[in-house]
Amino acid sequence: MTIFRRERKTRIVATLGPASSSLEQIRALFAAGVDVFRLNMSHGDHADKKKLVDAIRTVEKETDRPIAILADLQGPKLRISTFENGSVILEEGQIFTLDRCSDLGTDKRVMLPHKEIFAALEPGTNILLDDGKIRLEVTTIEGSEARCRVIVGGKLSDRKGVNVPNAILPLAAMTDKDVKDLTFALEVKVDWVALSFVQRADDVAQAKKIIRGRAAVMAKIEKPAAVSGLDEIIELADGVMVARGDLGVEEPLENVPGIQKMIVAKAREAGKPVVVATQMLESMIHAPVPTRAEVSDVATAVGDGADAVMLSAESAVGDFSVEAVQVMDRVARRVENEPNYLSFGMERRMSRKNTSEDAITQAARQVAHNVGAKSIVSFTSSGATALRAARERPGVPILTLTPSFRIARRLAIVWGLHTVKTRDINTFEEMIGKSKRMALRHGLASAGDRVVITAGFPFGTPGATNVLHIAWVAGDELDGKETEA
C-alpha cells in the first residue's frame, strides 16, 4: 500500500464553494495540498453542506489519511436596512441618523435593525459602514436613535455592514442561525467549529458548553475587544484564527501585521493551533498567478510559525482554486526549506508552565537534535501530547500515533504532525516496537536510524506525557503483520 505523507509542516485550509463543490474538485484540492476543508456556514443550505462532507469523507477513505472539516459559523452580522432608491451619497460633515424606524432610508437617515447596538453607543463612538468606507461619529443618543456626523462620506447602498470598533456590543457570539448551523455541523461530525466575532472569553465558554467536546472550538480574532482579551480567549479556545478581514476594518490597517504576529506568538506559546486567514492570495480569484506581495504575505505567516494558512474566496469561487493551493504549498515548502527557517523566531524560547509534561516534550526536541534522530514519535489519546510536540517546532518530523480517528482528524490542522490511527499500546515493548514499525512504514526512519519516543504512562491516560525513550531502528520491524486499524 502506498503511504501518503505531506512534505510540508505548515497546513493549508481551503474553503469549499461553487468552484470546488464536486468530488473530483475536492479530490484535486486534496492532492494539491489541502489538509483542512472549511465550510462557510454563511452561504448555502444544510443539504449542500452534507454533500460536501460526504465527498470529503470519500477522499479521506480513498487516501487513508485523516482530513479535518472546519465549520465556520456566520456570527452576528450587523447591517443597515434599505434605501428608497437603493443608495445615497453622504457628504462629509453632514448629519446622518441611524434609527429603528422601518421606513425606507434617505440621505438623512436609515434603519439599523439591531436594537442592542444603541445601548453600547455614546457620543464620540465611531461607526463604520461598508467595510469602513463610510465613517460616522455619534453626536447624540436618544433611545433607539443615534445622530451622527459623517467623518468620511461616499456612496452607501442597501444592507451594507456595520462595525463598531471601540465598543463591546451586548450581542451573543451565536445567533439563532448559528445554533441551527452548529446542530447540523455536530450531526455530520465536523472536527472544528470556528466562532465568528468573538468579543470576550465568555463567548467561547458558551459555545463550548453547547458543543461538549464533540468538536474543537476555534475563536476568530477579528475585533479589537478580542485582541484586548486575547490571553483569556486563547486559554479557553482549542485554537484561534487571525481573521484579517473585519480586523482590518475595525483596527487601523497599519496595526494588523503587528497584531497578527502577536496572535501567532501567543497561540504558539500556549500550544494552541493558529490559522492566518483572509486575502492571502486574493488576486488568484481571477488570475493564474498571485502578486509578489501575496507570496510574501504567505511566506511571512509560514516564517512566523503559524500552524496553517487559509484560502477563502480563492478556492470557494475562484477560477484557479487548485492552482491557488499549489502556490500556497510551494511557498510554504520553500520557506520551510530555508537553512535559517527555524531561526526566524521559530526557536524563540516559549515561556512554559513548570510541568513534567512540558519538560519531557522540550527534552525530546533537544535529544532528537543531539542524537541525530530522524523523527519524534508521539503517542496520544487526547491530542495533548502531540500538541506539545508541535509547540516545540522541532527540526525533525513528528509521527503522531493515536487510537482515535476523531483525534487524528482534529490534529490535521496542527503544524508538523503526520498522524496515524493505530491500535493502542499496553506495554513499553509494544510502544517501542510500534514506534519503529510505523516510522519505517511511513518513511520517517530507515534501518540504522534513531527515533525519539514520547508517551504518557499509564498508556491511554489523556494529557499525560511522562515517557521519553530513544530507539534504534534495526530495519526488520516491518516483518510483522500488524495493521494500522
First to last CA, the chain: 14
Strand partners, 401: 379, 420
Q: What does the pLDDT profile of the chain (485 residues) look like in tens digits? A: 567 899 999 999 999 999 999 999 999 999 999 999 999 999 999 999 999 999 999 999 999 999 999 999 999 989 999 999 999 999 999 999 999 999 999 999 999 998 888 989 999 999 999 999 999 999 999 999 999 999 999 999 999 999 999 888 888 889 999 999 999 999 999 999 999 999 999 999 999 999 999 999 999 999 999 999 999 999 999 999 999 999 999 999 999 999 999 999 999 999 999 999 999 999 999 999 999 999 999 999 999 999 999 999 999 999 999 999 999 999 999 999 998 887 655 555 455 566 888 899 999 999 999 999 999 999 999 999 999 999 999 999 999 999 999 999 999 999 999 999 999 888 999 999 999 999 999 999 999 999 999 988 887 777 678 889 999 998 776 655 454 54
The SS3 of residue 100 is: coil
Asked whether the beta carbons of 218 and 226 are under 8 A apart, the reply is no
Asked whether the beta carbons of 440 and 477 are under 8 A apart, the reply is yes
What is the dihedral angle through the alpha carbons of 287, 289, 292, 297, rounded to the nearest 10 degrees?
90
- Residue 28 amino acid letter: A
| CATH code 3.30.390.50 for 11-76+173-338 | no
Cα 95 to Cα 149: distance, rounded to the nearest angstrom: 5
User: What is the distance, to the nearest Å, from the Cα of residue 430 to the centroid of all Cα atoms in its chain?
Assistant: 35
Asked whether the beta carbons of 81 and 105 are under 8 A apart, the reply is yes
Cα 152 to Cα 264: distance, rounded to the nearest angstrom: 33
Please identify which of the residues 6, 38, 393, 421 carries the catalytic annotation: 38
Strand partners, 109: 97
Domain boundaries, the chain: 11-76+173-338, 87-163, 356-479
Helix (H) or strand (E) run with residue 295 in it: helix 292-304
Grid cell 508538523 in the structure block, residue: 416
Active site residue 109: no
Please identify which of the residues 27, 51, 57, 79 carries the catalytic annotation: 79
Cα 127 to Cα 137: distance, rounded to the nearest angstrom: 6
Phi, psi angle pair for 170, to nearest 5°: -75, 60
Cα 65 to Cα 70: distance, rounded to the nearest angstrom: 16
Helix (H) or strand (E) run with residue 183 in it: helix 176-187
- Residue 53 amino acid letter: V
Active site residue 38: yes
Task: List C-alpha distances in Å: 327 to 65, 280, 344.
Answer: 22, 11, 22
- Residue 414 amino acid letter: V
Asked whether the beta carbons of 141 and 121 are under 8 A apart, the reply is yes
For the record, the C-alpha cell of 176 comes out as: 439563532
Q: What is the DSSP letter of 170?
A: S
Active site residue 65: no
Please identify which of the residues 10, 15, 97, 278 carries the catalytic annotation: 278
Grid cell 452561504 in the structure block, residue: 43
Asked whether the beta carbons of 165 and 256 are under 8 A apart, the reply is no
Phi, psi angle pair for 106, to nearest 5°: -130, -170
- Homologous superfamily of 87-163: PK beta-barrel domain-like (2.40.33.10)
Q: pTM for this one?
A: 0.93
Phi, psi angle pair for 249, to nearest 5°: -85, -45
For the record, the C-alpha cell of 153 comes out as: 462620506
pLDDT tens for each residue of 373-419: 999 999 999 999 999 999 999 999 999 999 999 999 999 999 999 99
Asked whether the beta carbons of 191 and 409 are under 8 A apart, the reply is yes
Q: What is the DSSP letter of 105?
A: B
Helix (H) or strand (E) run with residue 308 in it: strand 308-311
* Residue 392, number of CB atoms within 10 A of its CB: 24
Cα 3 to Cα 230: distance, rounded to the nearest angstrom: 39
What's the chain's length in residues?
A: 485
Q: Which CATH class is domain 356-479?
A: alpha beta
- What residues contact 78, with CB distance under 8 A and at least 6 apart? 112, 114, 117, 161, 162, 163, 164
Helix (H) or strand (E) run with residue 406 in it: helix 405-410
Active site residue 79: yes
- Residue 381 amino acid letter: S
Cα 153 to Cα 162: distance, rounded to the nearest angstrom: 15
Task: List C-alpha distances in Å: 446 to 232, 276, 395, 475.
Answer: 44, 35, 17, 7
